[in-house]
Amino acid sequence: MHGEGDQLTDLDREILAFEEDWISHAGAKDEAVRERFDLSPTGYHQLLNRLIDLPAAEQHAPRLVRRLRRRRTARHEERSARRASH
């Protein structure tokens, strides 16, 4: 999937660009993901989560990648807190 030195693929760069401005796309994000990338929402998010862990992704779009990592961490913490409260 990723080449030497974890260089970004064209798809990786497209996904990062999409995350930067997906709100400007008409309709729901899941629909836009299906149309643009031919991926299920689950498959897209799995790919995105692997992508934002790559140093090359952070070099390419540092603010975006850090923001996405913070959101992911917050979601994990929310889920853990909900599980602990039940």
pLDDT of residue 22: 80
**Nearest-angstrom CA–CA distance, 19 and 34:** 14
What is the pLDDT at residue 21? 87
Walk along the chain (86 residues) and give the pLDDT tens digit of each residue: 444 456 999 999 999 999 998 877 667 888 989 999 999 999 999 999 999 999 999 999 999 999 999 999 999 899 888 888 87
From the list 54, 63, 68, the residue with the least C-alpha distance to 4 is: 54
Q: The tokens 């709100």 sit on which residue? A: 23
Q: What pTM did the predictor assign?
A: 0.81
